[in-house]
Amino acid sequence: MNWVLPNALHVRTAVWQAEKSGILPPRPENPAKDLFGSGFRQAAASMTGLGVRMSAAAPATGGPSFSVVLIPAVMWTTYTPTARGYSVKVHADGPAKGDIVIVTDEKVVRALVDGSFDAAAAESHGLVRFYGPADGQERVRTALAALPTKRSSVRYPLLSEAPQ
């Protein structure tokens, strides 16, 4: 991935540093084995949730088309603007032609979805990286900046709360 998207793997280090400093919740010391795909379902719910939030914040003319790849899972999701917001395709084969690509981690998407983190802060901490033409990157940044945030304590939804 680092060949196609230079420095993309730096996101993993930034996530680890954010976990250690308390910006993101820490990893469990002894993670449970995921025998039933609950991690995938949680990631899919986060990616869908981002589409819902983007749809609510998108201007009437629609926003930019973009794709997000979660690392280390290399799970792609495409976001295509429609008349009613965004169409979200979770577990896509890769980015759609002409998409801006965002590389990040599911924890970061979850924080964007629940409003506890804003996209500019995520980028400044190295938790997201953008790839593609500069004007397209700016359109995606602007769309993400429209997501409302909250100033209350951070709350990360439980798996049981994720839409199925």
Read off the pLDDT of residues 10-59 as tens digits, 9 standing for 90 and up: 999 999 999 999 888 887 776 666 655 567 888 999 999 999 988 887 66
Which pLDDT value is given to residue 69?
96
Checking 150-159 for CB contacts under 8 A at 24+ apart, the result is 150/114, 150/115, 150/116, 154/25, 154/111, 154/114, 154/116, 155/114, 155/116, 156/25, 156/107, 156/110, 156/111, 156/114, 156/116, 157/110, 157/114, 159/38, 159/41, 159/42
pTM of the model: 0.82
Read off the pLDDT of residues 101-154 as tens digits, 9 standing for 90 and up: 999 999 999 999 998 888 999 999 999 999 999 999 999 999 999 888 875 434
Over 70: is that where the pLDDT of 155 sits? no
